[in-house]
Amino acid sequence: MKIRKKHKWPILKATLDQMFKYFCIVATVLLLINGGLAWVSGNDWILYNQDLLRLILSAFFAVLPLLLAVFFEEYSIKGLPVLRVIRFVITAILVLGTLIIIQPTGRDVTLLTGVIFLFVYVAIDGYGYVTSRRLVLNINKKLDALHREENATCTGKDETHSG
């Protein structure tokens, strides 16, 4: 694993769209889970401002570690599990730490919270694995265009208009 020195910004721009989709999915899933748990337990659940803040911050911190892929390059298969474990640990610390800090007084982070975190994390990780091929193709297209522009300025020719 090494720090990416070139082309961070095109990769970041291509990744932000996918991260926004992940954020929306996580926020929606958390909203449905909280509402569903309240419905099953027979409680009334109203989305108060602290619930909305907890939900938004949890969703934001759940997708934030995906930026690791933008700033670090991995060339070997051996390094990928390490990067995934690091991303999981960072996500767990951020999300569960946020829940601990923002929880109303008198409520604890329970085992159910941990199970919900694992469920949502595995679902988003699986979704990311399935859609990563499309994201990689999009990033590669942008990098190819960037390389063509660099080559055109270095050689003095524009490849798109050559005959």
Region 38-55: mean pLDDT is 78
* Interval 101-156: pLDDT, tens: 777 665 667 787 788 888 878 877 777 777 777 777 777 787 888 878 777 777 65
* Interval 62-114: pLDDT, tens: 888 877 666 666 666 676 777 788 888 888 888 888 777 777 665 667 787 78
Least confident of 10-14, 38-42, 54-58: 10-14
Give the integer Cα–Cα distance in Å for 72 and 46.
41
The ranges assigned to domains in the chain are 2-153
Region 12-21: mean pLDDT is 78
What is this structure's pTM? 0.63
Specify the pairing of strand 2-3 against strand 72-73: antiparallel
Which contacts of 32-38 are long-range, i.e. CB under 8 A and separated by 24 or more positions? 33/116, 33/119, 33/120, 37/112
